[in-house]
């Protein structure tokens, strides 16, 4: 659907990259390798986003590091659109909100890095009914047209292994209020 509204593939990749996970940062050369596109096409789009105030940048040596401007009035709207686009809104509504004693849910894997993927990788923390989780995931996958991979840790296991199991590139998708 977004491909219809945003005809530039580079622009769509950048929106997904920076506005799904607000902690994502990237350099031009890294984006060039990741997207497999010319640095000029990416630079043009980055400049447009920066001029519009949607991206912030800072110099690190001779490189420019880009990051989403979470204070921009459109940030939350773009983020919510991407949750719908990726199917994460359906996962929150149909899976996460129905589980028992859940503490946190992290998005990990390619999608957490803003890379389109047919697989959604989730890390659940809490004491949940795993059989019920399987049923909910089996119902959610056809709705979002993606496969869901997951791992479940108790709160104790997570505290003990957090540094080892939680990838650097992750996004806290949901937390107990």
Query: Is 115 strand, coil or helix?
Result: coil
For residue 47, give both structure tokens.
């400049």
pTM: 0.88
Confidence at residue 4, expressed as pLDDT on a 0 to 100 scale: 84
88 with 45: CB under 8 angstroms?
no
What are 43-100's pLDDT values in tens digits? Answer: 999 999 999 999 999 999 999 999 999 999 999 999 999 999 999 999 999 999 888 8
Instruction: Could you list the beta-strand ranges (E) of the chain.
Output: 25-27, 55-60, 63-68, 101-108, 119-127, 147-153, 171-175
Confidence at residue 91, expressed as pLDDT on a 0 to 100 scale: 94
Strand partners, 121: 108, 149
Average pLDDT over residues 160-173: 90
* Distance between first and last Cα of the chain: 32
Among candidates 139, 13, 151, 153, which has minimal Cα distance to 87? 139
Confidence at residue 168, expressed as pLDDT on a 0 to 100 scale: 84
Asked if the model's pLDDT at residue 177 lies above 90, the reply is no
Confidence at residue 148, expressed as pLDDT on a 0 to 100 scale: 97
What are 85-132's pLDDT values in tens digits? Answer: 999 999 999 999 888 889 999 999 999 999 999 999 999 999 999 999
Confidence at residue 149, expressed as pLDDT on a 0 to 100 scale: 97
Confidence at residue 35, expressed as pLDDT on a 0 to 100 scale: 93
Asked if the model's pLDDT at residue 1 lies above 90, the reply is no
Task: Give the pLDDT band (50/70/90) at residue 169.
Answer: confident
List Cβ neighbours of 155 (8 Å cut-off, separation of 6 or more).
Answer: 103, 125, 126, 127
């Amino acid at each position: 659907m977004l491909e219809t509204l945003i005809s530039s593939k580079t622009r769509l990749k950048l929106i997904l990259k920076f506005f799904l996970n607000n902690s994502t940062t990237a350099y031009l050369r890294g984006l060039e390798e990741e997207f497999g596109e010319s640095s000029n096409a990416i630079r043009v789009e980055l400049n447009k986003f920066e001029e519009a105030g949607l991206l912030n940048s800072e110099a690190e040596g001779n490189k420019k590091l880009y990051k989403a401007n979470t204070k921009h009035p459109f940030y939350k709207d773009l983020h919510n659109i991407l949750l719908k686009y990726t199917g994460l809104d359906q996962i929150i509504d149909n899976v996460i909100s129905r589980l028992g004693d859940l503490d946190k849910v992290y998005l990990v894997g390619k999608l957490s890095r803003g890379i389109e993927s047919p697989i959604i990788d989730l890390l659940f923390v809490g004491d949940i009914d795993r059989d019920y989780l399987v049923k909910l995931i089996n119902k959610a996958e056809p709705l979002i047209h993606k496969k869901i991979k997951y791992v479940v840790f108790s709160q104790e296991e997570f505290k003990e292994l957090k540094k080892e199991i939680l990838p650097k590139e992750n996004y806290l998708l949901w937390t107990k209020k």
